[in-house]
Structures are given as structure tokens and as C-alpha cells.
Structure 1
């Protein structure tokens, strides 16, 4: 029996999928930011082993496709006898992906500060930890706000890859609706509108922050 879908039925289901896209993006960004901060500290540490481990971590997750990372987490852990849900696999994969990129973005912000800031704080007999806490990180944070908000757009778009492992976010919901309604142009057009509605305000906000916190000012 053929089920008839009204435009409202399609929109309502896509809004439900969009809710999960937004939830996954927020969780991945928050967890990724936390892990990324730890990786950043390891990357900037004076211990060469920590530096090497952090650098390797970043290169692995930046140098491999997000889709492959999700496959390894979802299917690889299942082969080891661990029951991994699509939600858990998507969260873990996007967290690792996000943390690697945020750590590198933030490292660039820290290293963009003039060396005179390090020298001036060292002349005040500050320890490395005190230098980071009171002098370097507050200034780097100001520079990092705009690119960090801008990267959040990539995280939202990256959630679409989670549809491959069965996580019912916006793209997966759209795919199922397209198969049920035989109206792929309409459905995926609305999916595109949904992503645009989520990403465009963040893009504008990132540009605004970039102008506001421009280093030259």
C-alpha cells in the first residue's frame, strides 16, 4: 500500500532529523573542544614525548577521512565483540575528528603571538604554567574565537557522514523520505535548506567576530 506524504509530513520528519543533527554537532563540538584542549597542552608541552604523541594524534585524524574513522569505530569495535550503537560511534568519531582540528587551530593562535610576550612574562619570573595561564592563553583566546566558531560549521556538515552507519540525522532522514515519497529533488532540496539554516548564521557570526577581534585592532 502506497503511503501518501504531504509537504508538512516531509518537513516534520526533516525537523526531527535536524534535531539530531544539532544535538550530535553540539556534543561533538563540546567533547572535541575538551579533548582538543588537552591535545593542545600536550602539543605545546616542553616534553618531547608529549609533543610527538600530540602531533601524531593530530596527523592521524586530520590525514584520514572522517568516513573511514566512523567505519573503524562502528564496524571495527563490533568485530571485537563490543556493541556500538550508531549514536555512540558517530559521537566518538566526530569528537576525535573535531579535537584534532581544534587543537591545531588553537596551536596556530598561540604561536601567532609575538615572542616578546613570552620574553616579557619570563622576565617577571613566571613559570611556564603561569605564562600560559596569565599571558598567552588570554590573548590566544581572543584570536581563536572567530576560527573556532567558523569550524563549527564544518562539524555540522560533517554529521552528514554519520548517515552511512545508520544514524538518523538530517541526511539519513532525507534519504529515507526520498525512498518513501519518490520525490528526491523536493526532499533533498529541503535537506539543503536545513543545513543552510544551521550553518549560514554561524558563518555570518564568525565573520563578525573576525572583524571585531582582528589582530590589527
Structure 2
């Protein structure tokens, strides 16, 4: 039986946003750890590490996120390991974020003038200390804007988790739409919530980028 789209349906969709936020936060945190390891491996002096990191990035940047979600969710079940949509979405998005953040941060590390590393080496600093005290603090400043920009893409990317049955914002919108048959109201509400989540972050990334470009011109 079709029911009208009302206040209760609106609140159900709004409440579903908490799962989108939770999935984004977990994937971003896990991707941050993985991305740092990937970035450090990419700029390492050890060639096998560079090749492994490059291969990881090529795989996850060269395939759609939707396919990655499918492979994690259905692949684990094929091998007899039952996995629920929440865990599958978390794993797939964390790996996806690791690849993209790793490449973003690799570029930021390499953007630090080589003279900084050479000076640190001349002072006798080991690799760990060079990275910790010289390179990474400068790279972190460069990385803030593109990292926030990627977070916006990651939040929007969580909508694909609806395909494997994870009930986040988009999936809840589909459920409500099937019950009310009011696609304009339902998906208009869903789109508005995504906009509210992403627009402030987009503005923040743009302001940080402008601020950094002004600082480098001084």
C-alpha cells in the first residue's frame, strides 16, 4: 500500500545520514592510515616497496568503486566467509581511500623542495627523522586542501554502498520511495542532505587552497 511522503518519512531519511557519516568517517580514518603507508612506500628508497605501492594504486584507481564493493562483498562469500554489507562497505571504501590518499600525499611529499631533504641528509638525519621533522610537516600543509576535497568525494561515494544492501542515506531513500512512490520529494531530500554534508567541506577545501597559494607567493 502506497503511503504519502510526510514528516515521519523525512525524519527517517535524515536519521539515515548518520550511517553515511559513520561510514565516511571510518573509511577516511582507515584510508588515512593506509594512505600514509602507501605514500611513504611510494617515496621509499626500496624499489620493491615502490612497485607494490604503485601496483596497489593502479588497481584501485583503475577500477570503479562499484566493482570494488562487489568484489569484496560477493568475493568473500564465494570463499565461504560470510560478510555483512557494513563490513564489506567499510573494507572496500577504506582500500579505495588508501589508494587515492596515498597518491595525493605522495605528490605532496614530492612537492617539498628537494633541498630540504638534502640539507637534512647533510646534517646526518636518518630517513625516519627526515620524514618526521622535515618533510612530513611541510607536506601536511600542502595536503590539507586536496585531502578535504577527497573527503567530499568519499562522502558521495558511500552512496554506492546501497548496491550491496547497506542502508545508508541513498538506500533509505530507495526504501522510502518504494513505499511512498514520491521520487521527487524523496530523492530531492536525499540530494539536499548530501549537499548540506559536502558543500561546507568544498568551501573549506577551496579556502585552504587559496590560502596556501597566497602563502607560497610571499
TM-score greater than 0.5 by the shorter chain: yes
**Given the alignment of the two structures, is residue 201 of structure 1 paired with residue 191 of structure 2, yes or no?**
no
The two structures have a TM-score, normalised by structure 2, of 0.96
- 1:138 deviates by 0.6
- 1:5 deviates by 3.8
Partner Cα distance (1:155, 1:6) in 2: 29
Partner Cα distance (2:70, 2:43) in 1: 31
Cross-structure match for 1:73: 72
What are the residue-to-residue correspondences of 1:45-64 with 2, within 5 Å? 45-64=44-63
Cross-structure match for 2:101: 102
Structure 1, residues 61-110: CA drift from partner, whole Å, max 9, x if none?
Answer: 00001110110110111011111000000000000000100000000001
- What is the Cα-based RMSD across aligned positions, in Å? 1.1
- 1:216 deviates by 2.7
Partner Cα distance (2:217, 2:154) in 1: 28
- 1:3 deviates by 5.3
**Given the alignment of the two structures, is residue 171 of structure 1 paired with residue 160 of structure 2, yes or no?**
no
Cross-structure match for 2:132: 133
**Given the alignment of the two structures, is residue 216 of structure 1 paired with residue 217 of structure 2, yes or no?**
yes
**Unaligned ranges ≥5, structure 2:** none
What are the residue-to-residue correspondences of 1:84-95 with 2, within 5 Å? 84-95=83-94
Q: Contact 2:155 / 2:198 at 8 angstroms: preserved in 1? A: yes
**Stretch deviating more after TM superposition (6-15 or 166-175):** 6-15
The two structures have a TM-score, normalised by structure 1, of 0.96
- 1:212 deviates by 2.3
Cross-structure match for 2:23: 24
Residue 167 of structure 1 aligns to a residue whose secondary structure is: coil
Cross-structure match for 2:38: 39
Aligned length: 216
- Moved segments of 4+, more than 3 Å: none
Partner Cα distance (1:3, 1:180) in 2: 5
Partner Cα distance (2:40, 2:120) in 1: 18
**Stretch deviating more after TM superposition (9-18 or 156-165):** 9-18
